[in-house]
Amino acid sequence: MTIKDDPAIRAGVEAAHESFGLSAEHAELRSVVERFARNEVAPVIGELYEAGEFPYEIVAQMGRMGLFGLPFPEAYGGMGGDYLAFCLVLEELARVDSSVAITLEASVGLGAMPIFRFGTEDQRQEWLPRLCRGELLGAFGLTEPGGGSDAGATRTTARLEGGEWVINGTKSFITNSGTDITGLVTVTAVTGRGSGGRPDISAIIVPTGTPGMTVSKKYSKVGWSSSDTRELSFDDCRVPAANLLGQEGRGYAQFLRTLDEGRIAIAAMSVGLAQGCIDESLRYVGQREAFGHKISEYQVLQFKIADMEARTHTARLAYRDAAERLLAGAPFKRQAAIAKLVASDVAMVNAREATQIFGGYGFMNDTAVGRFYRDAKILEIGEGTSEVQRMLIARDLGLPART
Amino acid sequence: MDFMNVVVCVKQIPDGDQSTYKLDPTSHNLVRDGKLILDDSDSYGVEMGLQLAEQAGGGEVTLVSMAPNSETSGLRTALAMGAARAILVSDAALAGSDALSTAKVLAAAIKRAGPDLVITATESSDGYTGTIPVQIAELLGMPSVTFSKKVTVNGDKVTVERQTEEGYDEVEVPLPAVISVTAGVVEPRYPSFKGIMAAKGKPVEELKVADLGLDAASVGAAGAGQEITSVVPAEARKAGEIVVDEGDAYQQIINYLEQLKVI
Ligand SMILES: Cc1cc2nc3c(=O)[nH]c(=O)nc-3n(C[C@H](O)[C@H](O)[C@H](O)COP(=O)(O)OP(=O)(O)OC[C@H]3O[C@@H](n4cnc5c(N)ncnc54)[C@H](O)[C@@H]3O)c2cc1C
Ligand SMILES: Cc1cc2nc3c(=O)[nH]c(=O)nc-3n(C[C@H](O)[C@H](O)[C@H](O)COP(=O)(O)OP(=O)(O)OC[C@H]3O[C@@H](n4cnc5c(N)ncnc54)[C@H](O)[C@@H]3O)c2cc1C
């Protein structure tokens, strides 16, 4: 039974999820994607998730809806939307399933966005139209086996030789890097040493299938089971010099902006998952009986759900505020870090509480809350761990870096 | 046909379903004062209209709707899917309209658009009398085909596979015509953000009863030939009976069927 079938509960969910403060167009987009997620994703995702299969058909549908082109100009095949629109979509998708949401988030935020922002006109024309249609997926490889939080410690190298970059090294946990429709991976690599021996990090576009790049088999993950995550290794992998993305030696600085935005997106996904926990819990407590009563009558459970709602509402305000700042051109680094820190925690707590409300069924892989439980943890790790978010907030408040 | 002018009737209905609808205790009319949305049943007609216009190599879909309080949110959804414009009839004088007066209003509005083809759903999700399509056709003097599950336009004719209990009939009628389509004929597209943004700028012409040249006394409560005298809730479906097989389940089932006098 879906939420839609249960009128008493639907009213509560709808009210909780009002589009207050959104423009009519953002509100309409939100409700279209809500409908899409409920009708097209929810019925099929459980089985794909259990089998660890990538949701190709859903990705194709999202491509036709233009979701992969949402925040890009029409000139590149985009929809002319903004970053808030993108976040609203991620929230609604993650409310039903996080693997689907992260596939979109990574391709748009990490794959296409750097090309749009830092790419040459040729690079944009070459990649963006197909990425915007969802025919190709983009990936971004920063993390290495030796570390992700400390991007300055990158070991992968690239040297120019005969008009080509020759790349060597390994990247771990790279989302979207091994699907049948992966078009490119942008990798960060050390391309030289600056004054004081500090590494110059640059970003280089590596098209799928380039000789010298090996895509390993999928990791066995705790969650995000339908998302594609691989290790990539580069062994004298050669790409044209023109594949440099942005300025040489500026790779690190460029991606700080990308990561700041990405935090708002992950916060939106976290809010979606937290909301999904509320949707499911409301539905379940109205059906389940114990000791001769609907469990919805027990105040302990009502309070759990009330707290879930209060947390989710707060986290939603945090990510929307960060997104509004971004759109207004105001500084948003601290707010993005706060939104990600708070929202990922809310997702974790709600997933734990929803699982508790479901009792034994919550521990089963074929319930949505079981999936939410498994999917929540990575939100506190990916695109900057919670510790890194606190570090960013502290730095932004003027507290010193360790010397 | 190189340019096809399709009118799709779209009803804007309360969000929810039969179990959440509220009836006015005295008029027995459905309470429609909250936000209205596009009837899901009509999303098939809109998709069909868009596809036929594309297949004709050119054309446009005009939406026609009658709804209270100048409601346009359902129209915006259909415009976002790709319809070109909308005609909305909204007038306090229409309160209490029955199906026939609704059909009169829709027919008068459709006439203004000069369509080659008119599409409706088989029945609406809130009123579901299923009488509007043929009433419109009669009032417009057009042939009508109901329960269409496949629609092909060939020059000045339309060929329809019409759903029947056994299978389907193939029916061909000259254009202009009215067809009602069943759910599932086509897969309605989800609007893209570009479509949603474009819908903002698309024209919605709002008309009053007088603009349509109709006599106010012939529509609304004044013109209704039907009166709903009472409404009673349908009996709730009883829970099914579960037969546990302890070796004699077949006998229990036979007894049950005999008791129903079906065997
Ligand atoms: C499913 C999945 C998908 C991913 N997708 C991508 C992708 O597409 N692209 C990509 O580049 N990466 C991706 N990653 C990698 C992810 O971003 C990193 O795992 C993450 O940034 C943390 O890096 P790490 O695993 O190396 O942990 P480490 O950096 O080794 O951190 C280990 C622990 O130490 C803490 N820590 C580190 N430094 C400090 C400090 N200074 N002070 C206090 N505590 C500290 C961390 O918070 C953490 O708790 C993905 C990971 C997963 C699991
Ligand atoms: C609870 C209840 C109370 C009612 N009370 C009264 C009453 O007091 N007096 C009375 O006379 N009638 C009453 N009606 C009937 C109701 O007003 C009519 O049913 C309605 O006007 C016509 O609609 P339908 O939805 O049954 O049309 P259908 O024939 O089922 O509709 C078929 C298709 O025609 C199109 N269509 C229908 N209506 C519109 C529209 N407004 N705009 C655009 N396209 C449309 C749509 O494509 C629709 O899917 C009541 C109905 C209900 C369910």
Nearest-CB residue to B193 (from A4, A10, A79): A79
- Judge whether residue A339 has pLDDT over 90: yes
Q: Which residues of A194-227 are buried (b: 16+ CB within 10 A; e: fewer)?
A: eeeeebbbbbbbbbbebeebebeeeeeeebbbbb
- Is the pTM above the cut of 0.80? yes
Domain range B4-223, its CATH number among 3.40.50.620, 3.40.50.2030, 3.90.380.10, 3.90.550.10 = 3.40.50.620
Ligand closest to Cα of B14 equals: 2
Average pLDDT estimate for A12-31: 75
What chain B residue is nearest to A34 in terms of C-alpha separation? B190
Q: Does A166 touch chain B (CB under 8 A)?
A: no
ipTM of the complex: 0.83
In this prediction, residues B141-161 reach a mean pLDDT of 95
CA A146 to ligand 1 centroid distance, Å: 10
Chains A, B: CB contacts within 8 A come to 51
**Helices (runs of H) and strands (runs of E) counted in chain A:** 13, 10
Q: Which of B76, B190, B194, B237 to mutate to test the interface with A (most CBs of A within 10 A)?
A: B190
pLDDT in the model for residue B29: 78
Instruction: Please check the confidence at residue A4 and state whether its pLDDT lies above 60.
Output: no
Q: Is A354 on the interface with B (CB under 8 A)?
A: no
User: How many angstroms separate the Cα of A327 from the Cα of each of A22, A73, A319?
Assistant: 13, 15, 12
**Contact present, A206 and A185 (Cβ < 8 Å):** yes
Q: Which residue of A has its CA nearest to B15?
A: A11
Three-state SS string over chain B comes to CCCEEEEEECCEEECCCCCCCCECCCCCCECCCCCEEECHHHHHHHHHHHHHHHHCCCEEEEEEEECCCCCCHHHHHHHHHCCCEEEEECCHHHCCCCHHHHHHHHHHHHHHHCCCEEEEECCCCCCCCCCHHHHHHHHHCCCEEEEEEEEEEECCEEEEEEECCCCEEEEEEECCEEEEECCCCCCCCCCCHHHHHHHHCCCEEEECCHHHCCCHHHCHHHHCCCCCCCCCCCCCCCCCCCCCCCCCHHHHHHHHHHHCCCC
CB contact under 8 A, A36 and B190: yes
Q: How confident is the model at residue A18 (pLDDT cuts 50, 70, 90)?
A: low
A204 touches A167 (CB < 8 A)? yes
Instruction: Give the relative orientation of helices A368-376 and A251-285 as an angle to the nearest 10 degrees.
Output: 150
Chain A residues in contact with B191 (beta carbon < 8 A)? 28, 32, 65
CB of residue B65 inside a 6 A radius of ligand 2: yes
Q: Does A70 touch chain B (CB under 8 A)?
A: yes
Share of chain B above pLDDT 70, in %: 99
Note the CATH number of domain A253-396. Answer: 1.20.140.10
Q: What is the tens place of the pLDDT at every residue in A204-227?
A: 999 999 999 999 999 999 999 999
Residue listed under structure tokens 């029947």? B164
Closest CB to B192: pick one of A7, A11, A79.
A79
Farthest-apart Cα atoms in chain A, separation: 79
Contact A81 B193 (CB under 8 A): yes
Collect all residues of chain B within an 8 Å Cβ-Cβ radius of residue A65.
189-192
Of B19, B192, B197, the CB nearest to A7: B19
Using CB atoms, which residue from B76, B80, B193 is nearest to A70?
B193
Residue ranges covered by each domain of chain A? 3-137, 138-249, 253-396
With the most atoms of ligand 2 within 8 angstroms of its CB, the residue from B129, B227, B231 to mutate is B129
Backbone φ and ψ of B242, nearest 5°: -105, 125
Asked if residue A205 lies in contact with residue A245, where contact means CB atoms within 8 angstroms, the answer is: yes
Of the listed ligands, the closest to the CA of A374 is 1
Q: Which amino acid is at A356?
A: Q
B226 lines ligand 2 (CB under 6 A): yes
pLDDT tens-digit readout, B155-202? 899 999 999 999 999 999 999 999 999 998 899 999 999 999 999 999
Round to the nearest angstrom and report the end-to-end CA distance of chain A. 57
* CA pair distance A202, A127, nearest whole angstrom: 19
For residue range A261-320, list pLDDT tens digits in order.
999 999 999 999 999 999 999 999 999 999 999 999 999 999 999 999 999 999 999 999
Digit-coded pLDDT (tens) for A168-196: 999 999 999 999 999 999 999 999 988 78
Residue B211 and residue A30: Cα distance in Å, rounded?
36
Min Cα separation B44/chain A (Å): 15
Tell whether A13 lies on the interface with B, counting CB pairs under 8 A. Answer: no
Mean model confidence pLDDT for chain B: 92
- Rounded to the nearest angstrom, the distance between the alpha carbon of B103 and the centre of ligand 2 is 9
Q: Do B80 and A28 touch (CB under 8 A)?
A: yes
CA angle A59/A104/B83 to nearest 5° reads 65
In sequence order, what DSSP letters do the residues of A275-338 get, joined into one string?
A: HHHHHHHHHHHTT-EETTEEGGG-HHHHHHHHHHHHHHHHHHHHHHHHHHHHHHT---HHHHHH
A162 has a pLDDT exceeding 60: yes
Please give the CATH topology (third level) of the domain spanning A3-137: Butyryl-Coa Dehydrogenase, subunit A; domain 1 (1.10.540)
- A105-134 pLDDT, tens digit each: 999 999 999 999 999 999 999 999 999 999
Which chain B residue is nearest to residue A89, measuring alpha carbons? B193
Please state, for a pLDDT cut of 70, what percent of chain A lies above it. 96
**Fold observed for domain A138-249:** Butyryl-CoA Dehydrogenase, subunit A; domain 2 (2.40.110)
- Pairing of β A289-290 and β A199-207: unpaired
* CB A224 near ligand 1, within 6 Å: yes
Interchain CB contact of B50 with A (< 8 Å): no
Quick one: pLDDT at residue A2? 41
Among B86, B129, B137, CA closest to B107: B137
Give the CA dihedral A191, A211, A103, A139, nearest 10 degrees: 10
For residue A167, the cross-strand partners are A158, A237
Burial class (CB in 10 A: 0-12, 13-18, 19+), A119: buried
Average pLDDT, chain A: 93
pLDDT in tens, A34-72: 999 999 999 999 999 999 999 999 999 999 999 999 999
Distance from CA of B41 to the nearest CA of A (A): 15
C-alpha A367/C-alpha A270 separation (Å) is 18
Q: What does the pLDDT look like over B78-91, one tens digit per residue?
A: 999 999 999 999 99
